[in-house]
A and B are shown apart, each in its own frame.
Chain A
Amino acid sequence: MHDALELAATRPQSAALRSYAPALLIFVVLALVPPIALLGPEGYVLSLTTRMMILAIAVISLDLLLGHSGLVSFGHAAFVGLGAYVTGILITEGVVDAFTILGCVVAASALFALVTGAVSLRTSGVYFIMITLAFGQMLYFAASSLSAYGGDDGLTLWNNAQLLGTGVLDDPRGLFYAVLASLIGAFVLVDRLKGSRFGRVLNAAKSNPTRVTCLGFDVFRFRLAAYVIAGVLAGLAGFLSAVQTEFVSPATMSWHRSGELIVMVILGGMGSRNGALLGALAYVGLEELLSTYFAHWKLIFGPLLVLMVLYAKGGLGAVLAPLTGERPRG
């Protein structure tokens, strides 16, 4: 711990910058996607990259809990689904102003995170994993039985959210840049949080909660705050995904989706600076690639996952570690 602190303090400015290189590169490339996409199947490329970025927001928020705080939340997709449902229901009821919807999304996901977090964080270890999973399922089944809003079949939106009265979010390119801006915002926010006093308390509590408590910090409250922040960010991802697909379905909350989010965090290397971002992009890319060539791509992906767990710890973040100068964590 002391070594790391001293190292961080004496590390030259360039090294700190270098650790941001992958993220910077990704953002620059992403910003260039819409003009380049004009050359090819524009609609397909834009919708795929937009989906990637939306997932990346959810994964970044999950990494704050999973990688940084050691809280294995297995119900994170519920927040994405909650954000999507609040958006879907409001639009169906005629509320289309993006900021009003966003306000409601933030309030709803913060409230849900506060209530479920207060219960879940009383437990630890496997109990925490299972109880977050159960809360996720609870929301999933609740959404499935909302017969007024599509029930099992999901809810198709006949209208879309409007940003300050304009149709920017309805235009694939406008939406793309809105999502990119949100992604950069989420990345910077979580990155700053991780480096702040708040984040360091969380990280210390990951390795030794008792000691952190003895130092005078109320670990429960720090964790609850992190849980709420992560939940709100995931809700934002849900809002964006509802706006993109103009469709909301209980399937977005199923525990398979939560599992996939965890896989993305691990794939990228949890707790590392760029891991969550890399993981989400790589996962969606891999899925798209494999499923194009082989309908039963899960036959390959499943064993690949098992092998990764057994033999390749640290994910893509560890692969990139020599480039970024970051020390792999595990």
Chain B
Amino acid sequence: MSTALLVVQVLNGLQLGLLLFLIAAGLTLVFGIMGCINLAHGVQYMIGAYLAVQFYAWTEHFGLTILLALATALLLGLLLEIVVFRRLYERDHLDQVLATFGIILFVNEAVKVIWGPVPLSLPAPELLSGSFVLMDGLLYPTYRLAILAAGLLVALLLWLVVMRTRVGMRLRAGATHPQIVSALGVDIGRLFMLVFAFGAMLAGFAGALAAPILSVEPGMGDNLLIVAFVVIIIGGIGSIKGAFFAALLVGLVDTLGRSLATDVLKLAFAPATANQIGPALASMLIYILMAAILWVRPTGLFGARTS
């Protein structure tokens, strides 16, 4: 494996990590603050991607598309919170799993009815559609670099909001001691609504960003959701910082694992065996990583709360 390929894979890994972070951020807050498992978070990512495709068809302007998709994702998040989620916070995890599972079934099917089962695509914006010369003979799509930049920017903004503002302070307090925050006179219901809708918007943003590089299809968020769960478990539930580092870790491990596992195994096994085990092992890598981390630290790397 050449250096050039390694650089590309590391960049791809970081890019996956940042997308994962956008999804995991909302998930870990809803999980950590409201104690609510939201399986439907993956469909919010999918909705973001579909909204982007739709708005682009109407406006043919990429920047406007992203803004509209963000606003609509936020509104849909609010709607979902008001109709279903605020009734779920007090329920046990099993009820939350079931109800959000029902939402997944509904939304995946609704998307199929509205946009059809065929995968759609969204062109990358003109300005970013070229390639960028990283080093001699190594081109990297500009749009992917833009995703990296956008992801880092959002991470920075989130960090500023969470660590430097009053709302952020309440969030952090709410993640560890919700009852006390409530007792101190913070309107916890409004805080919850805000967090939920904001998380939905972030997931939608991730979907809209990923739309030009992935195919937009029903169920596209479902597998990513599980990976996002792995991220927040590794990072520690409720910790934005944990979600950030765990997302990058998972993104890198997954991407590098997929490109390196077979080659590494060839050192120890016959090539035929390595070709067989390599891909299987690569796809299991992040789960093994999670199990190992939980074995050492049952509440994750930056976990504050035990359950």
Among the stretches A6-14, A171-179, A217-225, A258-266, the one at the interface with B is A258-266
Which residues of B in the span 94-110 have a Cβ within 8 Å of any Cβ on A? 94-95, 97-99, 101-110
Q: A262-B97, A306-B103, A309-B95 are in contact. Are A123 and B294 (CB under 8 A)?
A: yes
Q: Please tell me if A157 contacts chain B, counting CB pairs below 8 Å.
A: no
**Contact of B230 with A by CB under 8 A:** yes
Say how far A209's CB is from chain B's closest CB, in angstroms: 12
The docked-state distance in angstroms from the alpha carbon of A127 to that of B276 is 32
Contact B97 A74 (CB under 8 A): yes
Q: In whole angstroms, how far apart are the Cα atoms of A301 and B101 in the complex?
A: 11
Does A29 belong to the interface (CB within 8 Å)?
no
Say yes or no: A263-B101 contact (C-beta < 8 A), given A126-B93, A126-B307, A144-B283.
Answer: yes
The answer to whether residues A147 and B279 also contact, given A129-B97, A141-B284, A304-B102 and a CB cut-off of 8 A, is yes
Residues 100-135 of chain A: 1 if any B CB is under 8 Å from the residue's CB, otherwise 0?
000000000000000000010011111101110111
- Of B91, B103, B284, the contact of A302 (CB 8 Å cutoff): B103
User: Is the C-beta of B146 less than 8 angstroms from some C-beta in chain A?
Assistant: no
A303 to B223, CA, bound (A): 22
Query: Is the pair B287, A138 in contact by a Cβ cutoff of 8 Å?
Result: yes
A298 interface residue (CB < 8 Å to B): yes
A310 within 8 A of B: yes
**Does A299 contact B109, Cβ atoms closer than 8 Å?**
yes
Q: Check if B307 sits within 8 Å of A127, measured CB to CB.
A: yes
Given A72-B97, A262-B97, CB of A142 within 8 Å of CB of B284 = yes
Which of B99, B106, B290 is packed against the most chain A CB atoms within 10 Å? B106
**Is A305 positioned at the interface, with any CB of B under 8 Å from its CB?**
yes
CB–CB B298/A123 < 8 A: yes
A124 vs B299: C-alpha distance in the bound complex, in angstroms? 10
Q: Is the CB of A296 within 8 A of B294?
A: no
Across the interface, do A131 and B279 meet the contact criterion of CB distance under 8 Å? no
List 17 A-B residue pairs with CB atoms under 8 Å apart, sorted by A's residue number.
Answer: A119-B291, A119-B295, A126-B31, A129-B37, A134-B226, A137-B287, A138-B284, A141-B283, A142-B283, A147-B279, A263-B98, A298-B109, A299-B109, A301-B102, A302-B103, A306-B99, A309-B88
Q: Which of A126, A302, A310 has the most chain B CB within a 10 Å cutoff?
A: A126
Partner of B109, one of A263, A296, A309: A296
Q: Determine the chain B residues whose CB is within 8 A of the CB of A122 once the complex forms.
A: 294-295, 298
Across the interface, A296 reaches (CB within 8 A) one of B107, B112, B298, namely B112
A137 to B105, CA, bound (A): 19
Beyond A130-B233, A135-B287, A259-B101, whether A298 also contacts B307 by CB under 8 A is: no
Rounded to whole angstroms, the CA-CA distance of A123 and B300 in the bound complex is: 11
Chain A residues in contact with chain B, CB under 8 A? 66, 72, 74, 119, 122-127, 129-131, 133-135, 137-138, 141-142, 144-148, 255-256, 259, 262-263, 266, 296, 298-299, 301-306, 308-310
Q: How far is the CA of A256 from the CA of B283 in the complex (A)?
A: 18
CA distance A141 to B223 in the complex (A): 10
| Contact, CB under 8 Å: A147 / B106 | no
Nearest-Cβ distance from residue A146 to partner chain B, whole angstroms: 6
A residues near B37, Cβ cutoff 8 Å: 126, 129
How far is the CB of B298 from the nearest CB of chain A, in Å? 5
B229 within 8 A of A: yes
Q: What is the CB-to-nearest-CB distance from A136 to chain B, in angstroms, rounded to a whole number? A: 9
Chain B's closest residue to A67 (CB) is B94
The listed residue with most B CB atoms (<10 A of its CB), out of A131, A134, A262, A266, is A134
B305 to chain A, nearest CB (A): 10
User: B291, A309: Cβ atoms under 8 Å?
Assistant: no
Of A124, A146, A302, A303, which one neighbours B280 at CB under 8 angstroms? A146
Sorted from nearest, which 10 A-B pairs have the closest CB atoms?
A302-B106, A305-B102, A141-B283, A302-B105, A138-B287, A125-B307, A298-B109, A145-B279, A309-B99, A306-B102
The answer on a CB contact under 8 Å between B226 and A310 is no
**Does residue B139 face the partner (Cβ distance < 8 Å to A)?**
no
B288 at the interface (CB under 8 A from A): yes
CA distance A134 to B103 in the complex (A): 21
B190 interfacial by beta-carbon distance below 8 Å: no
* Chain B residues positioned under 8 Å from A299 (CB to CB): 106, 109-110, 113
Q: Does B237 contact A (CB under 8 A)?
A: yes
**In chain A, what residue has the closest Cβ to B289?**
A134
Given contacts A135-B287, A296-B112, contact A145 B280 (CB under 8 A): yes
Q: Does B84 lie at the interface of the complex (its beta carbon under 8 Å from any beta carbon of A)?
A: yes
**Cβ distance A155 to chain B, nearest Cβ, rounded Å:** 14
Question: What is the bound-complex CA distance between A314 and B113, given in angstroms?
Answer: 32
Bound Cα distance from A127 to B305, whole angstroms = 11
A134 with B287: in contact, given A122-B295, A309-B91 (CB under 8 Å)? Answer: yes
